[in-house]
Amino acid sequence: MSTNTKTIKTSSRPVRTLAILGLVVVAMTALVFVQGATSVRLGLDLRGGTSVTLQPRIAPGDEGKVTSEAIDQAVSIIRQRVNSLGVAESEVAAQGSGTNRQIVISIPGDTGRRVVELVGQTAELRFRQVLASGSGLPAATDAGATPVPGVTAEINAKFAALDCTKPENLQGTGVDAPTDTLVTCDRTGGTKYILAPAEVLGRQISSASAGLDTQAGTAWFVSLEFNNEGTSAFAALTSRVTALPEPTNQVAIVLDGLVVSSPRITEAIPSGNAQITGSFTQLEAQDLANVLKYGALPLAFDRGEIQQVSPTLGADQLNAGLLAGALGLFLVVIFTLLYYRALGFVTVGSLAIAGAILYLLFLLMGEWIGFTLTLAGIAGAIVAIGVTADSFIVYFERVRDEMREGRSLRTAAETGWVRARRTILVADFVSMIAAILLYFFSVGGVKGFAFTLGLTTIIDLIIIFWFTKPALVLVSRSKFFNSGHPLSGFSPKSLGMSAAKEA
C-alpha cells in the first residue's frame, strides 16, 4: 500500500477545484442578474415570425462581380426598408463569408407577406434635380402653400402633407419610377423633397471614391466618374441647373427612393469627373462613395428561403423541444443510476451543473452577442447530453479497468484519470472540429445546432476536469465506495473480479 499512499499525496486538491467551479457558476449567475438577462432569447421558429434569406446576385443585364462592399450596402438598404415597418426586434444580418454571403431578415410576429414583397426588390440609384425642399415635418394646414412652379397641385399637396418622422415614410422602395416626379424624404427623415424625373442613372457611374483634400487638410470629399452615357447626361443636367436659384440648383442622389445626399451644383461638369465636397467626416465620405459604387452595380436578390411560423407552431415546437430534452435527460439518468449505482449520482450532478452552465451561457450570450435559441439549437443541446455523459463513461470505465488490474479505488481514480483524460481530449477535439465545420458550412437555422454542439463540447471539458474528476476523487476517499459496497458501482462482483483475487 505504500505506493498508493504516495499517489494520493501527489493527487489534485478536489475540494479546491470544486470550490472554484462553484464560484464560477455563482459569478455567472450574478452577472446574469447584473445584465438583467432573465430569459433566453428565442428564435422565430419557437415564437412565431417570418424569416427571409436572400441570395444577392448581380442584377440581370449587368455584368460584374458581387463585392463585399455591395453586400454591406445591400444589408443597410434592406435594414432601412425593414425598419420602416416599425416592428421591434427585427433583424437584418449577412451570414456566411466573403462575396457569397446571404442576407437573413428575421421579423417576429405577423408581417409575413409585406416583408417578403418589400425586401426582394433591387435598390436603384438615380440622380434627380431638386425642385423643392423643406423640413421633414408636415406643413401646418395651408401655411406651407408656396406652390412650387412646374408641378401639379396634387404633388404640392402631397409634399405639404408628407411627414418624414413616420417610419413608413422612410421605406422608399418601389415609389421611384425614374420618369415620375418624386416626393420623398432623406434617409434620416430630417428633410423632404420634390424631385424631378431622373436624368442620370446609377449604372452610368463608372467609379467612385472618397479622398482627402491635402491642401485643406481635413476636408474629405467624394469623387465620381461617369461612363460615356453618364458624362453627357450629367453635363446636360449640371449645365442646366447651375444657374438656377436655391434649391433647384441641387441634384439629389436617390437610393432606393430616399435621398442620400443633395449637393449643390456650382458649375457645369462636362468632363464626367465630379467632386462632391462639404463638411464630410472620413466616415461620411466613404459611406457616400460606397452608395455611389453600389448604385453603379446594383444587386438583385434571389429569395432563397422564406419561412413563416405561426406563434402556435412556435409554441408547439418549443414545448416539443423541452419535452424531448426532459425525456432524454431522464432516460440517461435512469441508465447511469442502474449501471453505475451510487456512482451514477456523480454523473447526475455533472449533468445538472453542465445544464446550469449552458443555461447561464444562453442568457449571457443572448445579451452580449444576440444569441437566439432555435429548435435546432435545442436539439443540439439534447444530443450533447449523450456526448457529455460519454466522457464520464470513458473515465469511469477506465477507473474500473485500473481496479481490475488490482489497484485500489483511490489510486484508480487518479491513474485512470491520466489515461482517460487523453482519450476524452482527443474525442472532444474531434467533436469540436465537427461543430466548427458544421457552423461554417451550414445555412440558416441549422447553424444553431452546430453552435450549441460546440458550446456544449467546451462545457463538457470544463465539467469533466473541474467537476467529475474532483468529485470522483472525493468520493473515492469515502468509506462507502472504498469498501466495495454492492451499490457503489465498484463492488468486486460488478467489476467481475473473484473474491479470492480481491483478497
Partner 1 sequence: MSKLSGLGGRLYRGETSVDFIGRRRRWYMVSSVFILISIGALAIQGLQLGIEFKGGSSFTVTTNNPSVTDARAAVEEAGVTGEAIVQKLGANKVRVLTGSLEQAQNNAVQDALAAKFAISVSTIDTQIIGPSWGKEITRKALYGLFGFLFVVMVYLAMALEPKMAVSAIIAVIHDVFITVGIYALVGFDVTPATIIGFLTILGYSLYDTVVVFDKVRENTKSITSTSTKTYSQAVNLAVNQTIVRSANTSIVALLPVASILFVGAGLLGAGTLKDLSLALFIGLIVGTYSSIFIAPPVLAQMREREPAMQALAKRVSARSGGTVVASTVGAVAAINGRGPRNQPKRKGRK
Q: For residues 201 and 332, which CB has a smaller minimum distance to partner 1 in the complex? A: 332
Q: For residues 14 and 48, which CB has a smaller minimum distance to partner 1 in the complex? A: 48
Q: For residues 13 and 113, which CB has a smaller minimum distance to partner 1 in the complex? A: 113
Shortest distance in whole angstroms from residue 90 CB to partner 1: 16
Task: Let me know: does 182 contact 194? Beta carbons within 8 Å.
Answer: yes
113-152 binders of partner 1 (CB under 8 A)? 113, 116-117, 120
Q: For residues 190 and 486, which CB has a smaller minimum distance to partner 1 in the complex? A: 486
Shortest distance in whole angstroms from residue 106 CB to partner 1: 14
Phi, psi of 13 (to 5 degrees): -105, 95
Size of the site for partner 1 (CB under 8 A): 84
Q: For residues 192 and 398, which CB has a smaller minimum distance to partner 1 in the complex? A: 398
Give the amino acid at 104.
Answer: V
Shortest distance in whole angstroms from residue 476 CB to partner 1: 18
DSSP string, 415-435: HHHHHHHHHHHHHHHHHHHHH
The cell for 74 is 445591400
> By three-state DSSP, how is residue 445 classified?
helix
Interface map 391-430 toward partner 1 (x if CB under 8 A): --xx--x--xx--xx-------------x--xx--xx-xx
Closest CA to 469 of 418, 435, 403, 407: 418
Please pick, from the candidates 201, 291, 375, 455, the single residue that binds partner 1 as defined by CB under 8 A: 375
Shortest distance in whole angstroms from residue 464 CB to partner 1: 14
Shortest distance in whole angstroms from residue 452 CB to partner 1: 11
Closest CA to 206 of 239, 228, 234, 235: 228
Please pick, from the candidates 196, 198, 385, 412, the single residue that binds partner 1 as defined by CB under 8 A: 385
Closest CA to 56 of 85, 107, 113, 94: 94
Q: Residues with Cβ < 8 Å from 149, sequence gap 6 or more?
A: none
CA dist 114 and 174 (Å) reads: 13
Shortest distance in whole angstroms from residue 241 CB to partner 1: 40
Quickly list H helices, 369-468: 375-404, 409-441, 447-463
Shortest distance in whole angstroms from residue 148 CB to partner 1: 37
Q: For residues 379 and 475, which CB has a smaller minimum distance to partner 1 in the complex? A: 379
299-358 binders of partner 1 (CB under 8 A)? 302-310, 312-313, 316-317, 319-321, 323-325, 327-329, 331-332, 335-336, 338-339
Closest CA to 128 of 61, 232, 228, 202: 202
Please pick, from the candidates 33, 368, 441, 480, the single residue that binds partner 1 as defined by CB under 8 A: 441
Q: For residues 426 and 503, which CB has a smaller minimum distance to partner 1 in the complex? A: 426
2-61 binders of partner 1 (CB under 8 A)? 45, 53, 55
Please pick, from the candidates 17, 415, 431, 476, the single residue that binds partner 1 as defined by CB under 8 A: 431
CA dist 274 and 234 (Å) reads: 9
The cell for 73 is 450596402
178-207 binders of partner 1 (CB under 8 A)? none
Task: Let me know: does 424 contact 399? Beta carbons within 8 Å.
Answer: no
Q: For residues 16 and 114, which CB has a smaller minimum distance to partner 1 in the complex? A: 114
234-263 binders of partner 1 (CB under 8 A)? none
Shortest distance in whole angstroms from residue 163 CB to partner 1: 28
CA dist 384 and 394 (Å) reads: 15
Q: For residues 236 and 306, which CB has a smaller minimum distance to partner 1 in the complex? A: 306
Question: Quick count: other Cβ atoms within 10 Å of Cβ 402?
Answer: 22
- The gap from C-alpha 322 to its chain's centroid, in whole angstroms, comes to 24
CA dist 337 and 320 (Å) reads: 26
DSSP 465: I
Shortest distance in whole angstroms from residue 313 CB to partner 1: 5
Shortest distance in whole angstroms from residue 136 CB to partner 1: 33
446-475 binders of partner 1 (CB under 8 A)? 446, 449-450, 453
Interface map 60-99 toward partner 1 (x if CB under 8 A): ----------------------------------------
Q: For residues 144 and 328, which CB has a smaller minimum distance to partner 1 in the complex? A: 328
Q: How many CA atoms lie within 13 A of 172 on its CB side?
A: 29
CA dihedral sign of residues 256, 259, 260, 261: positive
Phi, psi of 251 (to 5 degrees): -120, 120
